[in-house]
Amino acid sequence: MGSAVQTAGRYEKRKWVRGSVPGSGPAAGQARDRALKDQLTRLRLEHDGLSRALYEAAQVQRRLCGPRHQRAGSYEFASEIFPVRHLSGDFITVLELESDLVFAIGDIAGKGLMAAMWFTYVVGMIRRHITALGDPAAALSAVDRDLQLAGLEIPLTTVFLARLNLPSGQLTYSNAGHPPALLIQANQGVEELSVGGPLLGAISQGSFANGLARLRPGDTLVAYSDGIAECRNESGTEFGTEGLLNSARSFPRSDAGTVLFSVLAAVENFVGKQHREDDIALFVLRRCGGQIE
Closest CA to 85 of 105, 114, 118, 49: 114
Q: Is the pTM of this model over 0.95?
A: no
Average pLDDT, rounded, for the chain: 83
CATH architecture of 66-287: 4-Layer Sandwich (3.60)
Which uninterrupted H or E stretch holds 173?
strand 170-176
* pLDDT at position 55 over 70: no
Instruction: Tell me the per-residue pLDDT of 232-260, one tens digit each, with 9 for 90 and over.
Output: 998 889 999 999 999 998 877 789 999 99
Name the phi and psi angles at 28, rounded to 5. Answer: -65, -40
* pLDDT at position 215 over 90: yes
d(CA 197, CA 139) in angstroms, rounded, equals 12
Which pLDDT does position 219 carry in this prediction? 95
Residue 112 contacts residue 85 (beta carbons within 8 Å) = yes
Residue 239 contacts residue 228 (beta carbons within 8 Å) = yes
Instruction: Tell me the per-residue pLDDT of 111-158, one tens digit each, with 9 for 90 and over.
Output: 666 666 787 888 999 999 999 999 999 999 999 999 888 777 778 899
State the pLDDT confidence band at 19, using cuts at 50, 70 and 90. Answer: very low
